[in-house]
Chains A and B, each alone.
Chain A
Amino acid sequence: MLINVERPLRVMLIDDNIIDLKINSKIILISKLFDEIIQCQSGEEALSYFTMHSGKLNKLPNLILLDIQMPEMDGFEFLDNYKLLPEEWKANCLVAMLSSTLDFGDIRKAEANPYVLKLLKKPLIPAELATIFNANFNLTD
Chain B
Amino acid sequence: MTRSPVKVLYIDDEENNLLAFKASFRRQYEIYTANSAAEGLKVLQNLPVEVIIADQKMPHMTGVEFFKSITDSYPDPIRILLTGYTDISALADAINHGDIYRYITKPWNDLELHNSIKNAHEAYRSKIDLRNKVDELEKTNDELNRFIYSISHELRAPLVSVIGIVNLVKMEGLYNSSGEYWELIESCSNKLDYYIQKTLQYYKNNKTTSDKSEIDFKKLVDELIDLYSYTDRDTQFKLNINQPHPFMGDSFRLEVILGNLISNAIKYQKDTEEQKLVEISIDVTPFSAEISITDNGLGILNEHLEKIFTQFFKTKNNKGSGLGLFIVKEALNKMNGKISVNSSLNQGTTFKITVPNAN
Could you give, for residues 149-167 of chain B, a 1 whenever the CB lies within 8 Å of some chain A CB and a 0 otherwise? 1001100111111011101
Query: Within 8 Å CB of B163, what residues of A?
Result: 123
B252 interface residue per 8 A CB criterion: yes
A69, B157: Cβ atoms under 8 Å?
yes
A residues 76-130 with Cβ under 8 Å of B? 100-104, 122-126
Q: What is the interface size of chain B, counting residues whose CB is below 8 A from a CB of the partner?
A: 20
- Inter-chain contact B252/A104, CB cutoff 8 Å: yes
In the assembled complex, B346 has its CB within 8 A of some CB on chain A: no
Q: Tell me whether B164 and A101 are in contact (CB under 8 A).
A: no
Inter-subunit contact A122/B164 (CB<8 Å): yes
Q: Once bound together, how far apart are the Cα atoms of A24 and B163, in whole Å? A: 12
- Minimum CB–CB distance for B219 against chain A, Å: 14
Complex: A20 Cα to B163 Cα, angstroms: 11
Look across to chain B and name the residue whose beta carbon is closest to the beta carbon of A20: B161
Task: Say whether A102 contacts B168, CB under 8 Å.
Answer: no
Number of chain A residues whose Cβ lies closer than 8 Å to a Cβ of chain B: 19
Asked, given contacts A23-B165, A123-B163, A124-B164, whether A100 binds B156 with beta carbons under 8 Å apart, the answer is: yes
Also in contact, A123 and B152, with CB within 8 A (given A27-B168, A27-B171, A102-B197): no
Residues in B whose Cβ lies below 8 Å from that of A52: none
Is A26 located at the chain interface by the 8 A CB criterion? yes
A1 in contact (CB, < 8 A): no
Q: Bits for B196-218, please: 1 = Cβ < 8 Å to A, else 0.
A: 01001000100000000000000
* B337 nearest CB across to chain A (Å): 20
CA distance A87 to B43 in the complex (A): 64
From known contacts A27-B171, A100-B156, A102-B156, infer whether A19 and B200 are also in contact, taking CB-CB under 8 Å: no
A-binding residues in B (CB < 8 A): 149, 152-153, 156-161, 163-165, 167-168, 171-172, 197, 200, 204, 252
Contacts A23-B165, A124-B164 known; list 13 others, CB within 8 Å: A17-B157, A19-B158, A23-B168, A27-B164, A30-B171, A100-B157, A100-B159, A100-B160, A102-B200, A104-B252, A122-B160, A123-B160, A123-B167
